Amino acid sequence: MTNPSENLYAAREPIFPKRVYGKFRNLKWVVMLVTLGIYYITPWIRWDRGPNLPDQAVLVDLAGRRFYFFWIEIWPHEFYFVAGLLIMAGLGLFLFTSALGRVWCGYTCPQTVWTDLFILVERWIEGDRNARLRLHRANWSFAKARLRVTKWVVWALIALATGGAWVFYFADAPTLAAQFLSLSAPYVAWVTVGILAATTFVFGGFMREQVCIYMCPWPRIQGAMMDDDTLTVAYRDWRGEPRGKARDSTAGDCVDCMACVNVCPMGIDIRDGQQMECITCAL
Ligand code: SF4
């Protein structure tokens, strides 16, 4: 039983993942480009359906109670098609997780993709791990404030673009964009963009792995689909321990170089005896 005096809240430890290189990282950059490209560009694709019908390829027309997806038009009483697609997507997710481990978390989950993008911006403005560590420990100065504000402004622009792209799926994108520019967009559009921009900014910029650890149900479900043979990026103590120099024939495989700890975006530190499974690095 939990001791009532025990503090169940652990303050977030800042994490400064070091940049990594390699084929899986390159694959992750490609996946990021493709997924973000699909998300931002799709509402702008036009699709000629004839007179008096919207020419937006993907459109959730709430007023007209229709969902347009390229050549497909779904009416409310046909929504079971969408339900069926969602069930198939869920089963596909289970299949990929069982066969390949946490590929969803590592490559395609929106939380991963946007966090990765925000870290990219952070690294671009503040430098790699060591520079960011130095900046974090430094006292506030004009130089530190300038870097921090620049980063937050770029994050805010990305967050705004993210919230903005979402509402374009629910209205004719060029018309709504013109309304935003002339400040005549509907109230609900402003509120939706505001909420999504704020959550993107906070989740991608500040909460990051906290969303995975505390808010997301998926890691709990995945535990039921994995065994010792599942492909995962994880520290396996039976293989790594006892740590030591590579030439020591009695030592395990871990040479204690700290490379995995320094690049881990989840902040996992195996020196603390943590044997947690790495969630999002997909190295
Ligand atoms: S744990 Fe949840 S939020 Fe985190 S990457 Fe996986 S699915 Fe996404």
pLDDT digits (tens, 9 = 90+) for 177-222: 999 999 999 999 999 999 999 999 999 999 998 998 889 998 888 8
Could you tell me how many residues make up the chain? Answer: 283
Q: How far is the CA of 150 from the centre of ligand 1 (A)?
A: 28
Q: Residue 74 pLDDT > 50, yes or no?
A: yes
Q: How far is the CA of 189 from the centre of ligand 1 (A)?
A: 27
Q: Residue 283 pLDDT > 60, yes or no?
A: no
pLDDT digits (tens, 9 = 90+) for 230-244: 777 777 788 888 887
Model pLDDT, residue 231: 76
pLDDT digits (tens, 9 = 90+) for 80-101: 888 999 999 999 999 888 888 8
* Pair 169, 43: CB distance under 8 Å: yes
Task: Give, using CA atoms, the residue closest to atom 6 of ligand 1.
Answer: 105
What are 72's strand-pairing partners? 69
Q: Residue 69 pLDDT > 50, yes or no?
A: yes
Q: Is the CB of 56 under 6 A from ligand 1?
A: no
Arithmetic mean of pLDDT over the chain: 88
What's the pLDDT band for 229 if we cut at 50, 70, 90? confident
Q: Is the CB of 211 under 6 A from ligand 1?
A: yes
What's the pLDDT band for 276 if we cut at 50, 70, 90? very low
Residue 170 CA neighbour count, 13 Å, CB half:
14
Distance CA 11, CA 274 (A): 17
pLDDT digits (tens, 9 = 90+) for 244-263: 787 777 888 888 888 888 88
Please choose from 102, 111, 113, 222 the residue to mutate so as to test ligand 1's pocket, defined by most ligand atoms within 8 A of CB.
Answer: 111
pLDDT digits (tens, 9 = 90+) for 134-193: 999 999 999 999 999 999 999 999 999 999 999 999 999 999 999 999 999 999 999 999
What's the pLDDT band for 2 if we cut at 50, 70, 90? low
The first and second tokens of residue 70, run together, are: 């390229």
Distance CA 195, CA 92 (A): 30
Q: Is the CB of 93 under 6 A from ligand 1?
A: no
CA 141 to chain centroid, in Å, comes to: 31
Residues 6 or more apart from 126 whose CB is under 8 A from it? 132, 135, 147, 151
Rg (CA), the chain: 23
CA distance readout (Å), 246 to 7, 249, 253, 255, 269: 41, 7, 7, 6, 21
